[in-house]
Amino acid sequence: MIRFNNDYSCGAHPQILKALEDTNTESYGGYGLDIWCEKAAAEIKKYLDCPQAEVHFLIGGTQANFTVISAALRPYQSVICADSGHIHVHETGAVEHCGHKIQALPNTDGKITAAQIAEEAELYRTSGVKEHITQPKLVYLSFPTEYGTIYSKQELEEIGTVCRNYGLFLFIDGARLGYGLGSVKADVTIADIARISDVFYCGGTKCGALFGEAVVFTNPELCVDFRSYIKQNGAMLAKGWLLGLQFYTLFKDGLYFEITKRADEYAMQIKQAFAEKSIPSYIESFTNQQFVVLENSMLKKLDDKYVYEYEQKIDETHSCVRFCTSWSTKEEEVQELIRDIRQL
């Protein structure tokens, strides 16, 4: 079977495994206080224009999301996000478990707008009963979104402006950051992401690492004693250098950007193949996740050879499914899929 079902079903990029082997008998300080974490942070910061940035390495996305939010908010403050946001729909209420309300706004293709955020913030600002409602204090975006779509530079700038105007923190979930930045449609760099947001993370789990998310704080106010939050939330890996080592490997020569960009290119080829057969996209994505609407009879033909993710029934004869490329996808797998699409 050839797998296009998700971007976290294989181990790690060979260079990462090799780095693990090379250092396996070495001894390092525990809990993220080691030379590899230091070096990894330095490599990541080379891509930013933000000398004061502080980098912390956590293990997974859900963990990174609620740990950052727990550190950023006071008990009566809430999070604004899209109603399709990962923290709202796929994290078992982890943010609420930390005590915070999520104010979910209707998404358009997985995104929310500066205007929507401003409206929500203005509602609070002008409320006569502030103490009866939660105070929106942090905006959570994903880049790319759950649907593979990305914010344009202008959209992000506008959101950043609204956040500054209303005193909101901007937190960008970059679980798939590489795939977002590598998109042909992307007009932002990681330095833009860093400049516009207060905190964001570079996902490792889905972008070549065994696991790990590099959380980058550009707003120093947000990361006071952040290591205490990491520990309290069970997100401090005893052998923290395993995280540093992986991110060092991914960032030192731009491997992170290279392997995700290639996955995006494969996805574009698949997208085009579907388009040529007039098979419609469910959502127009220019990153590694492609949501398409196929006849069920077509799916049957693909079932023998390919694994994809079933999303939802569209009607009696059509379904929406996701084909997802990743850093581990091989060119021949893509070519084979394209051939088979052409023969549908």
3 state SS of 213 = strand
312 binds a copy of itself, rule: CB under 8 A = no
User: In terms of CB distance, is 197 or 328 closer to a copy of itself?
Assistant: 328
Interface with a copy of itself (CB under 8 A), residue from 41, 55, 62, 244: 62
The b-or-e profile of 33-55 (16+ CB within 10 A means b, else e) is: ebebbebbbebbbebbeeeebbb
321 binds a copy of itself, rule: CB under 8 A = no
User: What is the gyration radius of the CA atoms in the chain, in angstroms?
Assistant: 21
User: In terms of CB distance, is 47 or 266 closer to a copy of itself?
Assistant: 266
Residues 216-275 that bind a copy of itself (CB under 8 A): 225, 227-239, 242
Q: Residue 142, exposed/middle/buried by CB under 10 A (0-12, 13-18, 19+)?
A: buried
Angular region, 144: left φ>0, alpha ψ -120 to 50, beta rest = beta
40 binds a copy of itself, rule: CB under 8 A = no
Residues 120-149 that bind a copy of itself (CB under 8 A): 129-135
Piece of the chain touching a copy of itself by CB under 8 A; list 97-105, 112-120, 278-286, 315-323? 97-105
Interface with a copy of itself (CB under 8 A), residue from 51, 75, 221, 332: 75
Shortest separation between residue 225's beta carbon and a copy of itself, angstroms? 6
Running DSSP on this structure, what letter comes out for residue 196?
A: H
Shortest separation between residue 77's beta carbon and a copy of itself, angstroms? 8
60 binds a copy of itself, rule: CB under 8 A = yes
The b-or-e profile of 71-92 (16+ CB within 10 A means b, else e) is: bbbeeebbbbbbebbbbbeebe
Interface with a copy of itself (CB under 8 A), residue from 27, 126, 278, 343: 27
Angular region, 29: left φ>0, alpha ψ -120 to 50, beta rest = beta
CB 111 within 8 A of CB 82: yes
21 binds a copy of itself, rule: CB under 8 A = yes
User: In terms of CB distance, is 290 or 328 closer to a copy of itself?
Assistant: 328
